[in-house]
Structure 1
């Protein structure tokens, strides 16, 4: 039976930390919602939102290589504590300035950049620790739990944030967020992570952090299957970036704010449903097939979203997109965590972050230009495609957005077909694991344990 493995000490530790992180995610989502309202009320412009999105991603990309190397050197639990504390202080910084009547956009951009940097440290430390804590057969379930937390935060933030911002004010919402970081830190102090396994020769060598960071790139470069999977995920993330940027103007262009709320609920509901399914199910056995299947689902749903100016169609498309994200993430996690040596997992996950996140700014920077200057003129009345494609998709100011999303969908389907043809990509399931399953060890490793093998989760 797998139930005793699911209740193993490592899984209990993971669940405790997951709960603290979930509470913190909800608090952060409340602040993000409130800050969005505050910025729009103050500026009435969409440009600050794009600036915030860039500050959410770019600093993390820049520091991830060093952050991953340090996550392999430092105690990973303490690294997570420091990262949560840094993000908490950035929220407190905004709250203090808001109460003093001094908060400006550049303060928010600075705080968001600090939080992005902190996430760059926390992500590799948490992911690398997960492989030590969670039994191999439950890695997909663990990923589902984290995506469930994100989905819950995505649903709770608009519902609670709208009430709290209008009743107690944005400053007090930020203080609530600050308190939720305290919950996350408290759960980390209450648990212990197993020690990071290291090779004896690596421990004795005097190496710089940049050398360690370069090891992550060298390791990825030496693994053709991992390289192919990371490139595919970067292309998928590019497609998702266009969804996050374009779905709101697409809906608002032919419907109202209430319809956008319906689409937003479908987005959060899809993530929540997919995450719950992964948590209970644990994920498919054929991980590569699931990853490729999500590429097909994403491409089709993008085309569905852009096909017609009809809210149920857009909601169905975005529900399908977010429904599959937890399955895709869980499959990637379950596939590669056991196949990356523990002593380089932090820096390797940092490389993953850099490669996957690097495509998001491309979408953020190009979506508006492509929509307004390239695709919009094609499907306005009298445009070049109004008499042909416009007869099917309709014409109007938002039909160019629909065409752009459909084009991105075709791109994603093409990338999926390309990945499916790569032998290294297709056969990744057959690569032997190099990390012992956490559930197989119940006692401390003997003194003569082979160097480089992961220490078991302590009872």
Structure 2
């Protein structure tokens, strides 16, 4: 089997799984809100789904480097299929509970952490280092297309089939992905060691943390991401609640999928604009400007009087939110030395995403106590606090990190490591 065929199988499996997951992304919160009518529980679901990556990211990365990657991805896909299929099965038997809905999301997210860790290494093996950029670009294009078209189609499916039945499609997609992944041309890996001492694992994690803490650019970009992710948790956790209470939709209205599609369009706009912005605008200003725009467009989303203006505000907010996240990710990848890439990027992602579960939980409680608009306007404080803190850091300066400065930073760190 050729490299092209192997990557084709991998990409097909991911596309099938992404398409199925889009259905559950719409159907699960709709089903929960239909059963409970609670904004607090809607926010709690989003918070719980965000927690596994924060808790399991570091150990999952270490374990996935020792395990057989094809087997790990295959079994993770089968596990997700079983977890998802349990929802329509319980519904058909009259046994479905709110607790099951709240636990299924984080359980699938926990499995995904291990899948994701294995997938990073598997992709590099399938396409080689030289093919990573092109392969990643193709995957991002496919993911973006699904993000644009999938939610609207999912909204129609949820409205016409009922949420439990629609979720069945996601279970089938995981099963199909598992069958495809089992055929990947990945040679079973021979481990150089059967297990690393716990103290060595902690030492590796500590080294990544020290690098983030000491770096004058990566440290503020990472910490400012907390406020950015706080607003993300609030918005995503209340999408269904906002659709029902602000725009007067039924919980199973097929138009609800348009909100996820608008968010995907905003993320695509940010990804498209970022390369040009990084060539013409100081890197710190991109983050600070994104945080300012996040605040403005989140307020517009909270105050939108109608569906069209709401979709436009949501797309603009997501573009600003994604711009902050992507700018931090790209800068970390450019500056961080090769031997620290995994630890620094994983650790920084976990720190920056730390605000998401808090934002989802707090906004859900506020929406029930004081209304959706109040909850969303309060969430603006997350971006405002990050913006205020960012103005007191080197990010406000005009200097741009050039390629020469990036290479100098890498050389300096390598020299310090040798000594």
CA deviations over 1:369-416 (Å, ceiling 9, x no partner): 55676xx5xxxxxxxxxxxxxxxxxxxx66634642544443343344
Out of 181, 204, 208, the position equivalent to 1:188 is 181
- 1:45-444 mapped onto 2 (5 Å cutoff): 45-129=38-122, 133=127, 139=133, 142=136, 145-146=139-140, 149=143, 152-153=146-147, 155-163=149-157, 166-167=160-161, 169-192=162-185, 203=192, 207-208=196-197, 211-212=200-201, 214-223=203-212, 224=215, 225-246=217-238, 249=241, 253-257=245-249, 265=258, 267-272=260-265, 274-275=267-268, 278=271, 283-284=275-276, 286=278, 289=282, 292-293=285-286, 295-307=288-300, 308-311=303-306, 312-323=308-319, 331-337=327-333, 346-369=342-365, 400-401=374-375, 403-418=377-392, 420-421=394-395, 427=401, 430-432=405-407
TM-score by length of 2: 0.74
Q: Per-residue deviation at 1:363? A: 0.7
Could you tell me which runs of 5 or more consecutive residues in structure 1 were left unpaired when the two chains were aligned.
Answer: 1-8, 377-396, 436-459
Give the secondary-structure state (helix, strand or coil) at the position aligned to 1:257.
coil
Query: Are the structure 2 counterparts of residues 290 and 16 from structure 1 closer, same or farther at C-alpha, using a change threshold of 3 Å?
Result: farther
CA distance in 2, matches of 1:106, 1:42: 11
TM-score by length of 1: 0.69
CA distance in 2, matches of 1:205, 1:86: 25
Query: Contact conserved, 1:35 with 1:170, CA < 8 A, in 2?
Result: yes
CA distance in 1, matches of 2:245, 2:291: 23
Counting matched residue pairs gives: 398
Query: Are the structure 2 counterparts of residues 14 and 219 from structure 1 closer, same or farther at C-alpha, using a change threshold of 3 Å?
Result: farther
Q: Give the RMSD, CA atoms, in angstroms.
A: 4.4
Query: Contact conserved, 1:131 with 1:139, CA < 8 A, in 2?
Result: no
Query: Contact conserved, 1:85 with 1:181, CA < 8 A, in 2?
Result: yes
Q: Per-residue deviation at 1:107? A: 2.3
Query: Contact conserved, 2:43 with 2:362, CA < 8 A, in 1?
Result: no
Query: Are the structure 2 counterparts of residues 67 and 335 from structure 1 closer, same or farther at C-alpha, using a change threshold of 3 Å?
Result: same
Query: Contact conserved, 1:297 with 1:324, CA < 8 A, in 2?
Result: yes
Q: Per-residue deviation at 1:85? A: 2.3
CA distance in 2, matches of 1:194, 1:333: 31
Query: Contact conserved, 1:196 with 1:342, CA < 8 A, in 2?
Result: no
State the structure with more CA Rg. 1
